Amino acid sequence: MRLQDRVAIVTGGAIGLGKGISSRLAREGAKVVLASRTESALREMASSIEANGGAALAVPTDVCDEEQVKAMVSKTMDRFGQIDLLVNNAGYIGQLGDFMSLPGSEWIDTYRVNLMGTMFCSREVLKTMIPKRQGVIVNISSIAAATGFLPTMPYNCSKAAIGILTTDLARIAAPHMIRVNALLLGPIDLSGAGVPAGASEVRPETASGQIPEELDLWPFFGMSAPPGGSLLPDEIASTIVYLASDEAAGITGEHIKMFTRLRE
């Protein structure tokens, strides 16, 4: 087990991509803190990890709320005494729409979750990592941050902002032996859910804004579908496990693109 007894926080960690990440981290020996707004899914996921011999802590958290984030980190420290890995996975797609017609509130809501949520979680976790001079942060971004995707402009721009946040955090954290990287993900196979990368936690009131299942996303990214199909959650989780391990000690400040699956 590559992450034996390490403590990992996964935001949006009970559904979608986050569920796959949490499951894999637990299988690698990590103690997993599940931070999400969806309480029923949190309880179910924590029970699943514990039933398989792992350790889990479910903490209902809205990453947009700085006080809730502080409380989540405090509960993690009270339970486990350390934080070794933060995966900023919680994301918000927003409504699909034309640039000229999308309300400003949609831009604000998207930035609150994707950018401010990532910032709040990173800042609070860094406060615990810096004194121990160890830790890893992985920010989940999207290839759309680099290529664009017109129906989801607020989402694209918020994910692009995560890019420079990752770069700056890596500079801040490096003197303390803490690594910060981002994964820019392409379309993910979430069992036909049709949810774009990094948006594993969709607000119920905007569920109609999900990418239609029948829509072929690849042309929007300027490429054809890879022969092996879209990424699988466990393949993404494998990269996170590597980045969190000692084997990746020389990797920080990187924006790693994962958008093709070249495997039968």
Could you give the residue numbers annotated as active site? 155
Phi, psi of 149 (to 5 degrees): -160, 100
CB neighbours (10 Å) of residue 56? 23
Distance CA 56, CA 9 (A): 10
